Amino acid sequence: MDSVAAIEAAVRAQHGRVEALFTELARCGRTDPGFTRPSYSPEETEAHAVVARCAADLGLAIGRDAAANTAMTLPGRDRTLPPILIGSHLDTVAQGGNFDGAAGVVAGLAAVAAIRQLGLEPERDITVMGIRAEESVWFQVSYIGSRAALGALPDGALDAARIDSGLSLAAHIAREGGDPDALRRGPAARDAAIHAFLEVHIEQAPSLEEAGIPVGLCTGIPGNVRYPDVRIAGRYDHVGTPRCFRRDAAMAGAEIALALDRVWAAREAAGCPMAVTFGRFHTDAAAHGLTTVPGEFRFSLDMRAYAAEVLAELEAAFLAAVAEVSARRGVTVTLGSRAEAGAGAVSPRIRDGLAAAADALGIATRPLGSPASHDAAAFAKAGVPMAMLFVRNANGSHNPREAMAIDDLLDAVAILTAWLVAETCAA
């Protein structure tokens, strides 16, 4: 059997292990509908225990860092060489699916299992990482686990409160077995270099499904700028108040939103992908009504793009709209906190290697920009060569209907395994 066929066979042999892992993970944080494994919750910790048990069965060395990320390592011949990391997250949004995040950890374990089955010993460590707290909904901070591992948590992040419990991130980390004090003292930066970070993730849009292709090769991860809670103060008035006397906060919010939507439409028509989302957009339910001019309006804003210049341009357009609309309408806009995450550039060398592996295996792929943010972006920002593989998924993500076929995931695992063999298992 030639080496490509041997890799293919060793990966397909992981079908049962992969299926069993998803079945076990589906018991962690089951809600009706879907799965709820909040960042730093007992349900997330249970999912970490599931993958750690599988890693123990595979004879991997299991470690946990101060942020309670799980590291599962197949040791290399030369342990002084910078390791290859393969990872993704095990938390979910509220009532999410079982594949967003978890598929990447399962894929890493399956690839390492295939390498073991092939009887290969890597030159350098291969570490599968179960990463904490990627879903920024819970603490309104992105990539907490990966940034903590990289010594790159933003200032004040440990004091952020989880939206449901009100407890601080530090308290939640301590409760789930991490060491927030060590994080506060801070490894100023990760001491050891990392050779590469690879992440397998379900696609969040249906483009692979539509194209009939099982695997996408990531071309880039967007950076974002976020304003989680913008407040507009105008004046509550009688519904009959003439236009010239009004200070309508809702109209001001609508104008700001439409100004950004026009920028988005124009840039996209010019071939520049980006996204603008006002996730919350509302008057005050305690005071609004059919016969009252809204005196208060609040919204959240997420702007994302693949290049820092484009993101800066979007933010400038937003701030210009805020200044213009508030002056003209006589309202006051309080921007509140601001958060950002850098765009993640993919390593061309690794992407080319993955493409060559897919060709050798006869697996169809296509290049694909990630519409979403991923842990891999945090590693790229820290200067680690990064690449991602997306797996076909029918019904979007962050919902209980996520639909990924195990055979499609194993296509991605085969590509990943063939790349690992070429990269670090050569005789």
The contact set with Zn ion (CB under 5 A) reads 100-101
- Least Å distance between CB 202 and Zn ion? 8
CB of 89 to Zn ion, least distance (A): 6
Which CB sits closer to Zn ion, 101 or 214? Answer: 101
If you search the block for the tokens 């696609």, which residue do you land on? 203
Q: How far is the CB of 397 from Zn ion (least distance, A)?
A: 7
| C-alpha distances in Å from residue 171, one per residue of 132, 156, 168, 281 | 14, 13, 5, 31
Determine if the peptide bond prior to 75 is cis (ω within 30°): no
Is the Cβ–Cβ distance between 24 and 98 less than 8 Å? no
In the complex with Zn ion, which residue's Cβ is closer, 116 or 398?
Answer: 398
- Closest CB to Zn ion among residues 65, 100: 100
**What is the DSSP code (8-state) at residue 92?**
-
Distances (CA, A) of 229 to 138, 281, 297: 15, 10, 10
Pairing relation of β-strands 70-74 and 61-64? antiparallel
Contact 353, 419 (CB under 8 A): yes
* Cβ-based nearer residue to Zn ion, 69 or 326: 69
* Burial call 131-151: b when 16+ CB within 10 Å, e when fewer: bbbbbbbbbbbbbbbbbbbbe
Cβ at position 35, least distance to Zn ion in Å:
13
CB of 299 to Zn ion, least distance (A): 24
Indicate the residue among 7 and 86 with the shorter CB distance to Zn ion. 86
Minimum distance, C-beta of residue 392 to Zn ion, in the bound complex (Å): 15
Q: What is the DSSP letter of 299?
A: E
Question: Are 54 and 109 within 8 A, CB to CB?
Answer: yes
Is the Cβ of residue 43 or residue 100 nearer to Zn ion in the bound state? 100
